[in-house]
Chains A and B, each alone.
Chain A
Amino acid sequence: MHKSVWTATLVAAAFVAIDSARAQQSRPGAYMNLGFSGLADLGWSTERNVASLQRGDHDPRVRGFTIPNVELTLDGAVDPYFKGFANIAYKIDPDGESGFELEEAYFLTTALPANLQIKGGQFFAEFGRQNTQHPHSWAFVDQPLVLNRMFGPDGLRGQGARVSWLAPTKWYTEAMVTLMNSGGETMFSFRTEESSEIHGGVPAERDVARASDMVVVPRVATSIDVTSTQTLLLGASAAIGPNNSGESANSRVYGTDVYWKWKSATAAAGFPFLSFQAEALYRDYDAADRTSIDNPLVTFPRERLIDRGAYAQVLWGIKPRTIAGIRGEIANGNSGAFDSEIRAERTRISPNFTWYPTEFSKVRLQYNYDDRKGIGRDHSVWLQFEFIMGAHAAHRF
C-alpha cells in the first residue's frame, strides 16, 4: 500500500519535474534545476541466484531485466549563503515491487570565509573516489567488490556534516572531515543491523553514548596537472567508528585512491582520452565475543577481522562517444571464527564497451568473469541502457 502510494506520488513528481525542467529552460534563472535519469539492465549469468553475485543495490539483480536506478535530482541556490541538493532514487526489486530512497538531501555553504565549506544533511561520505558518485556516472554496470564489502550495497552514506578546507597551495589540496551517525543499513562497517553478515553474531544493542559513537571520515585529496593534457588526482581517506558486534567494538577503514587522465588538446566532445582509476581499502574490524545468529548454542571469540580489497580500471575514449574499459578487482579477508561469504577471497575481471549516442543517453555492454573461492567461477553478460531528461548535472573531475 505504502509502496504503491509512494510510487504514484513519485511518478507524478517525475512528470512535474520534466515539465518544470522544460519550463525552467525558458525562464533562465529559475530557482531550481530538475533532472531525471533512468537505468535499465538486461543480461544473464551462470549464477542462478544473481543477487548473491551482484550484491550492489544498483547492480543487475536477476537473469533478464532489472531497473536498478531511476533518479530525480534537484539542486539550486537556497540564498546567497547556501546551495541545496536532493537525489531521490527509485528502484524495482527482483519481486517487481517499487521502492524509493531519499538517497541524498543536503545543503552546502557558499560564502564561508577562510576557504571553508560545510555540507550537512544526508549524503554520500567523501571517502575515496567512487563512493560519492551516482550510478549514472559509474564506468561499469556494477559497484566495485571492495566498496560493497566495506560499505555495503548502497555505499557509505548517512546523516551527518562535513567541513572542508581548500588549502592556499599552488596546486589543488583539499582536506575534509565528515561526522556521521553510525547506525543504519548504509553504515555497513559500523552500527548496522546487517553487521552479522560480517561477524556472524547477534548484533548488540548499542546506544550512542558519547561523541566517539559517531563515525569520523577524514580525507585529503591533492592534484597536479602533469602536463597540459594530463592530470593526476590522489587521495587518502579513513572511516572510524563503532560497530555493533559488541558494546565497545570499533571499526577502522582506510583507503587510498588515484585517478589519472589524459585528454587530447584537440578533444571533440571530450574525446579521445585515456584514464586510470584505482582504489585500495583496508578494514580492521574488532569483532567482540558474540553469540552466533544461526545457533544460540555457538559463541564466537573476540577477534580482529582484517579485510583488504582493490580495483583498478582503465578507460579508453577511442573516438567521440565511444569508450572501451576494463576493470580488475580483488578482495579477501583473514580467517575468522565465522565463515562469511562476503569476506572470502574473490576476484573479478570486467571488460566493457560503452557507446553514447549523445551525452543524454548511453548503451553499455559488459562481461564479468567472477571467481569466488570455495564457490566457483561464473560468467555474466550485462547490457545497460541509460537516459537523462531535464537538466544534465555537470560532471566533476
Chain B
Amino acid sequence: MKLISLFAAAAIASAFGAYTPPSAAPLNVVVTTPDLGAIAREIGGLAVDVKALAKPTEDPHFVDAKPSHIVTLNRADVLIEGGAELELGWLPPLLESARNTKISTGAPGRVIASHGITMLEVPTTFDRAKGDVHALGNPHYLLDPLNVKIVAKEIADHLAAVAPQSAALFNTNLAAFNARVDAKLAEWQRELGPYRGAKIVTYHRDFVYLAERFGLTIATTLEPKPGIAPSPAHLAQVITIMKAENAHVIMVQPFQNRRTAETVARQTGATVLDIPQQPGARPGVNTYFELMDYMVSSLANALNPAK
C-alpha cells in the first residue's frame, strides 16, 4: 500500500506542478485536420482558440494517437472531425482516453463535418480487394467550396449551441464567409474555366471533389487502388493512359511519393504539381482562401498550354 500512496503522491505533485487554471477566454476548439481549423477560425474569430491534431504535411489517414492529443482533447470545448472514416484509425482511442463528455457523440461540442455533405464515390459493395475504400464515400470533400459552406454552417450552429453568448458573432462571420466563398468561387471558376474537361492525374483519389466542381477529369491515379502502393506494371499503364488522353499534370500532396510522380512525368512530359490540401503545409498558405487561391492558380498555370 505504501507504493500506491507513493504513486498517488507523485501524480498529485506533478499535477499541481504544472496546473494552469482555465481562463474565461476563447472556446477551445480542436480539429482533426488543419483545413477544418481554417474554417473554424473564419467562423469563430477571436471567440475560438483552434488547435489541429494532424500536421498539415502528414497523411491524415495515419496520424499517431500521441498522448499529448489525449490532453488536448480532454481540455476541448468543441471537437470538429472530418468524419466519413477519415480519422477511424486514430481518433477513437484518443477519445476513449480523453474522457471529455463535452465532445462525446451527440453532444453540441462534437461536430462531424461530413454531416449534410453529398458524398462522392460511396461504394455499393464492400470489398477490400478493391483497396482501402471508405464505406461512407470519399472523405476529401473540402476541396469543393460549396461543401465548405455546408461545413461552415454546421460549425457555426455547433459553436452557437456551445457558446450562445457569441451566437451573433458566429452568424455574422458565417454570412461574411459565405459571401466571400461565393465571390471567390466565381473568380476560381473564371480562372479554371478555360480548362474545363482537361485531364489531370493524382496520386490518391483525393482531388475528386475539386475535379467535380471545376469540370476537370481525373484520367487515372498513380495508386492502382486506394491505399495500394504503385507497382511498375500499373505505372506503365498510367503512362500509356496519360499519353493517350493528353494528361500533362500530376498532382501530389507533401506526404505522397514525389519520386514516383517524377518518374511518370519524365516519361510523359507532364508537370508535377505540389498541391497540399492543408493550410499551413506551405509558407504563406495559411487560410482557406490562401490555400484555394494557391491551388487554383497553380493548376491554371500548369494547364495553360502557352506557358
Contacts and interface: CB of A to CB of B under 8 A. Distances in A.
A22 interface: yes
Contacts of B19: 168-169
Contacts of B67: 172, 221, 223, 231, 233, 397
- Judged by DSSP, the binding face of B is loop
A114 to B, nearest CB: 9
B237 to A, nearest CB: 20
Contact of A218 (B3, B55, B61): B3
A266 B14 contact: no
Nearest to B135: A25
A325 B255 CA distance: 23
A351 to B, nearest CB: 24
Interface in B1-37: 1, 3-4, 7-8, 10-12, 14-15, 17-20
Given A80-B104, A166-B99, A265 B65 contact: no
A166 B70 contact: yes
Q: Range of interface residues on chain B?
A: 35 or more
A219 B10 CA distance: 11
B64 interface: yes
A268 B135 contact: no
A320 B62 CA distance: 11
A165 interface: yes
Contacts of A218: 3-4, 7
Contact of B66 (A223, A321, A360): A223
Interface residues of A, number: 61
Interface stretch (B38-46, B84-92, B242-250): B84-92
B197 interface: no
A238 interface: yes
A167 B71 CA distance: 9
B307 interface: no
A268 B8 contact: no
A169 B74 contact: no
Given A169-B15, A169-B18, A395-B90, A83 B4 contact: no
Give the residue among B7, B19, B105 with the most A Cβ atoms within 10 A. B7
Given A25-B126, A167-B14, A172 B68 contact: yes
Contact of B101 (A111, A221, A223, A392): A111
A115 B74 contact: yes
A170 B20 contact: yes
A13 interface: no
A359 B62 CA distance: 10
A268 B256 contact: yes
A261 interface: yes
Contacts of A375: none
A105 interface: no
Nearest to A397: B65
Contact of B126 (A26, A112, A238): A26
Contacts of B57: 265-266
B121 interface: no
B135 A267 contact: no
B61 A175 contact: no
B58 A266 contact: yes
30 contacts: A28-B136, A77-B105, A80-B104, A80-B106, A83-B96, A111-B104, A165-B11, A166-B71, A166-B97, A168-B19, A169-B18, A171-B18, A172-B67, A174-B97, A175-B11, A218-B3, A220-B7, A220-B10, A233-B67, A236-B7, A263-B58, A266-B57, A266-B58, A268-B59, A269-B227, A359-B89, A360-B128, A389-B128, A394-B65, A394-B93
3 closest Cβ contacts across the A-B interface? A172-B67, A223-B67, A25-B135
